[in-house]
Structure 1
Amino acid sequence: MPDYFLDFSVTNINTIVERNAEQWAVNKLSFANSCVMVLCLAGKADYVFSDGSTVSSKKDRILFFPPKNIRSGKADPEEPWHFISVNFDVVNLNGNRDVFQSLPGFIDSVPESVRTKFKKLSAVWKEKSYLYKLKCRILTEEILYDLLNLEKSNGDPHSHAREIEAVTDFLQQNFTQKISLEDIGKFHQLSETHFRKLFHQVTGMSVKEYLIKLRLDYAIELLSSGEFNITETADLCGFCDVYYFCSLFKKKYGCSPSKRMQKKR
């Protein structure tokens, strides 16, 4: 299930390795805080994890290893594997769900555009030219962005997912306006009960909760800019009642809008 509010930033690239290895092997490899993403360009290797589960690499498969993931691995000498590995740090910027919770352990048959970005990553890292770490962070974020979108489009199990996505797109574009059930109903052909249930399954929240989150996230932007007072912010975010806005804001962020404004000064 895609996280519609997932947001993250790659803060550091620790190392990028490209190898064509016959004798490659690792034993109980793990990183406390960093993530690893590996693209197999050719050949094969087998991984065994601390819980006894296994996974194999194959051409055009990307493997993901989150922090604290303990694994041992060995290349197949009859099919030496050629791979590009990216070790990086990532920070979650919104909510409790991180990027690796939104990705499976591996993705097969990645598009050529992703392969090209991996190869560019490897080349930029080897050259170490001006601003190379910045370039590598940007490329890594682009790869993760592409893969998250690929997983979203290929892996959504809900038969009416496109209708729900049409609703979320409408809400994202119009959340500052007054929105009725009739407005939302134009984007799906489901019963109201079925729609509410399906929307919650896909987004993890009700329509009302989704709309409130959009408005409160926008309120943070407006208040942080220092250009709008609380009443103006509430109105611009689609709240008719400033007191209701303040109550929701404090419940979500643990402080009043005025306190939030003071922190930004």
Structure 2
Amino acid sequence: MNSDHYQFEIGINLQPEARELTVLFSGEGSPKPGHKVGPSVHDYYLVHTILSGQGVFVSEGHAYVCQAGDTFLITPGKLFSYESDKRTPWHYVWAAVQGEQALRLLSEAGLSPEKPVLQGADAAALHSIYQRIRLSFRQSPYPGLESLEASGWMRLLLHRLGLVSRNLENGAAEQPEMIDRQVEQAIRWISLQYHQQLGIGQIASSLGYHRAHFSKAFKERTGLSPKQYLMKIRMDKAKELLASRALTIDEVSSSVGFNDALYFSKQFRSWFGQSPSEYRSRLAPF
């Protein structure tokens, strides 16, 4: 137990490698009231997130009062100090990182030497990720894999912080409508999985929407219902496959998501005014 802390736990990377982003160590602690670190400098990036209590972080002469949900960044070569509050000492988690892309990734997450504090995160959600980072370093026979695992969890942590940063910068009213993003995701899903037995209800449910609401939003943005859009993708792809002449009609039908070749032919005629075989026969020969 660290004598300056009521609680102190740490996991250390035994095999840090030169990567875009490498976690050197990660820990959790509850320092005693008034516990102070610095003034000092580090040669790595060190991220702290406050779980409860409060304290003061000082970077390059600027003081920031930090409390639960706040995250602060210590930058290599930058003079810093931080001190636990004397009445409500903070409980925090931390992770140290280095790598050629570390600064870029931290900046994407909303933390930089110019903006070393990010406020308003869900401390409990971040806590669980920090724990996974620390527990990656379980001193197994495979420290290289432990390092890789920790880097993955660190990227997830930065992703979560980045979402908080975007909300703070843009405000909810200026955020792109979530339904717009979900429609875009559905379009990508249909465009990649048209050959599967897709159900519109399944897609809507997976994206968190009732089928009727999702279908209405989809049509408003594309001019087609999800079912019509799926059929259009299938029919356009069927024309491509028929033109290649590499597959039989039955094989084309199966390739674009139809189990019944007769039903496929009926749908093809409905869309293009001719059967698949008629369409193929009217194409110019190779």
Q: TM-score when scaled to structure 2?
A: 0.47
Q: TM-score when scaled to structure 1?
A: 0.50
Instruction: Find the structure with the greater CA-based Rg.
Output: 2
- Kindly indicate whether structure 1 or structure 2 has the higher relative contact order, using CA contacts under 8 Å at least 6 residues apart: 1
